């Protein structure tokens, strides 16, 4: 926001008043002429030569884009500091959804609920309303300008991948098809907005540290094994990112975890089964140590997404025992509802590690999306997604048994996560 110019008063003697006044008046007149000439030149080139200009948007952004960026910056800066995570869901079928499922070029079949037969589309029309402020409206052009010549990298599991796809869908319609690309190389997928030289990336690392589930396609294994002190194989792909968005919960949710000291390739490694929370704490410490040493504290903005809740036990919200999110069409209205699918102990470990990093000068923002997502039991794909293997007759006879109550339909809840992330990114330096 522009500050009002300060007027500096100086005490001058009567002998120098006339000369100083003349000097000020002359300087002002010269500046006026220069500014007037610049305005004329700007209007001339933007109006008379704008349509025929050969300059690329990256080298000469239009006045319209500057206006969008300026307006967005002013909107966010003028907002009072607000708790974006405390609020309620408001049904809004006038301004939501922010995009259409079938119009997103990179939609995932795992999240395309309408495509796979869901008839009730009310899950697309809920808008998150903080209690004490309004969430800034997502503006794709403004975000892309903020990301010009930068990397936004999501790191984590399939929930973070869903949020990454949501962000791509949010900006997709603002970019001509010839000026965007998608490239996947192993665990790293890169969406590029070519005219902005901006990338929105996803890196598959469900445990953050190395594990036997690191293959982005074949990662379902009967016994999960982690190397809690090894992260470099993954982390070298995040180096020099400007914005990092992490999550890691879902793949840890089991009572015990097998830890390997050594490498997967070596036959003399030492294996030990430990309590999950202890292994999770060890992994977070390795992640934290890497960030402290390798991340540019003045350049990189780091975010941690809090736990995405599951809705696998309908008794949590007063439903029939043994059922889940299957056939749910309404959001939960009970204020501060908290289901059994979210683990406060894991979240406390994350908070402690991040507090430690903040004290060391690395600013990490936790985006606490757990509570706002708890209300949305109807927002999951349930049975309305691509099934990677043919369903058996037994499964078909009991749809609730294979319902996905973990991931989220798009458009849907992850769009709100990204609206909040967008606000934090735009308010950063």
Rounded Cα gap, residues 384 and 374, in angstroms: 20
Task: Give backbone dihedrals phi and psi of 153, rounded to 5 degrees, phi first.
Answer: -125, 125
Catalytic residue status for 158 = yes
Q: Is 86 noted as a catalytic residue in this protein?
A: no
Burial code (b: 16+ CB inside 10 Å, e: under 16) for 258-269 equals ebbeeeeeeeee
- DSSP labels, 63-100: HHHHHHHHHHHHHHHHSPP--TTSEEEEE-TTT--SS-
Tokens matching residue 164: 């990454």
State whether the Cα torsion 114-249-285-223 is positive or negative: negative
Residue that has been written with the tokens 């809840």 in this structure: 413
> Cα torsion at 45, 47, 49, 54 (round to 10°)?
90
Phi-psi region of 318 (alpha: psi -120 to 50; beta: other; left: phi over 0): left
User: CA angle, corner 65, sides to 166 and 426, nearest 5?
Assistant: 50
Cα separation, 61 vs 141, in Å, equals 11
Q: Is the dihedral of CA 309, 313, 314, 316 positive or negative?
A: negative
Cβ neighbours of residue 411 closer than 8 Å, sequence gap 6 or more: 96, 97, 98, 99, 100, 101, 124, 166, 169
Please tell me which residue in 172, 242, 316, 404 is annotated as part of the active site.
404
What tokens were used for 298? Answer: 């003045």
Residue 210 phi, psi (nearest 5):
-70, 145
DSSP label of 132: S
316, 373, 407, 415: the active-site residue: 407
- Joined together, the tokens standing for residue 255 give 């009572």
User: Annotated catalytic residue: which of 108, 158, 189, 211?
Assistant: 158
* Cα distances (angstroms) measured from residue 70 to each of 63, 141, 250, 315: 10, 11, 39, 49
User: Does the annotation count 404 as an active-site position?
Assistant: yes
CB neighbours of 18 closer than 8 A, spacing ≥ 6? none
Active site members: 158, 404, 407
């Amino acid at each position: 926001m522009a500050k009002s110019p300060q007027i500096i008063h100086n005490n001058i003697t009567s002998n120098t008043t006339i000369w100083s006044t003349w000097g000020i008046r002359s300087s002002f007149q010269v500046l006026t002429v220069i500014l007037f000439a610049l305005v004329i030149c700007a209007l001339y080139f933007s109006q008379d030569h704008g349509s025929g200009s050969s300059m690329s948007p990256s080298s000469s952004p239009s006045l319209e884009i500057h206006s969008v960026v300026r307006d967005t910056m002013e909107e966010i800066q003028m907002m009072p500091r607000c708790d974006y995570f405390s609020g309620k869901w408001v049904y809004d079928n006038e301004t939501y959804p922010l995009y259409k499922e079938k119009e997103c070029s990179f939609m995932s079949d795992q999240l395309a609920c309408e495509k796979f037969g869901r008839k009730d589309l009310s899950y697309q029309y809920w808008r998150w309303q903080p209690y004490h402020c309004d969430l800034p409206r997502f503006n794709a052009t403004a975000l892309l300008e903020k990301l010009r010549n930068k990397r936004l990298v999501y790191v984590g599991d399939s929930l973070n991948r869903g949020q990454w796809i949501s962000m791509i869908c949010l900006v997709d319609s603002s970019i001509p098809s010839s000026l965007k690309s998608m490239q996947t190389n192993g665990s790293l997928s890169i969406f590029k907005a070519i005219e902005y030289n901006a990338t929105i990336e996803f890196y598959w690392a469900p445990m953050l540290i190395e594990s036997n589930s690191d293959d982005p396609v074949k990662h379902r294994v009967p016994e999960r094994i982690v190397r809690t002190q090894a992260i470099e194989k993954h982390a070298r792909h995040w180096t020099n990112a400007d914005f990092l968005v992490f999550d890691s919960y879902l793949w840890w949710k089991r009572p015990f975890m097998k830890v390997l000291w050594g490498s997967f390739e070596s036959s003399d490694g030492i294996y030990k089964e430990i309590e999950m929370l202890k292994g999770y704490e060890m992994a977070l410490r390795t992640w934290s140590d890497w960030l402290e040493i390798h991340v540019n504290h003045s350049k990189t903005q780091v975010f941690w997404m809090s736990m995405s809740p599951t809705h696998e036990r309908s008794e949590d919200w007063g439903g029939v025992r043994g059922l889940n999110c299957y056939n749910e069409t309404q959001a939960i209205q009970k204020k501060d509802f908290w289901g059994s699918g979210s683990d406060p102990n894991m979240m406390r470990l994350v908070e402690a590690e991040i507090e430690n990093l903040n004290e060391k000068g690395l600013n990490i923002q936790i985006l606490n999306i757990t509570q706002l997502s708890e209300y949305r039991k109807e927002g999951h794909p349930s049975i309305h997604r691509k099934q990677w293997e043919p369903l058996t007759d037994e499964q078909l006879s009991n749809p609730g048994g294979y319902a996905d109550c973990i991931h989220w339909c798009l458009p849907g809840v992850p769009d709100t996560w990204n609206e909040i992330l967008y606000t934090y990114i735009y308010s950063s330096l």
